[in-house]
Amino acid sequence: MEQKCQDCDATMKILDDVVVGEIISCPDCGNEFEVSKIDSNSVTLSPAESVGEDWGE
Ligand SMILES: [Zn+2]
C-alpha cells in the first residue's frame, strides 16, 4: 500500500506486514512518520517527533 508524505506529498511505499509503531521515512524529504493505526488497506501516520525521548526507564 501507499501513503502520501504529510510534508512534501511524495508517495511512500508501505509494506503489507507493517506494524503499529514502525517508522516510515519519506524518500523525498527524509521526514519520518510513525505508524499509529492500521486498517485493512490503509495506514494512519503521525509525525515521528519523539527522537530523544527516553521511554526505556
Ligand atoms: Zn516527504
Q: How many structural domains does the chain have?
A: 1
> What are the tens digits of pLDDT across the range 3-42?
999 999 999 999 989 999 999 999 999 999 999 999 988 8
User: Is 23 inside a domain boundary?
Assistant: yes
Per DSSP, what are the bridge partners of residue 38? 43
Q: Are 8 and 47 in contact (CB under 8 A)?
A: no
Cα(11) to centroid of ligand 1, in Å? 8
Strand blocks (E) in 1-57 = 2-4, 11-13, 23-25, 32-38, 43-47
Residue 55 lies in a domain: no
**Which of 11, 10, 13 has the alpha carbon at shortest distance from 1?**
13
Q: How many angstroms is it from 18 CA to the middle of ligand 1? A: 19
Q: How far is the centre of ligand 1, averaged over its atoms, from the C-alpha of 2 (Å)?
A: 13
Is the pTM value of this prediction over 0.85?
A: no
34 CA distance to ligand 1 middle (Å):
13
CATH number at residue 43: 2.20.28
Report CA(24)–ligand 1 centroid distance (Å): 10
Q: Does any domain span residue 57?
A: no
Tell me which residue range forms the domain holding 19: 2-47
Q: Is residue 29 part of a domain?
A: yes
**Residue 53 maps to a domain:** no
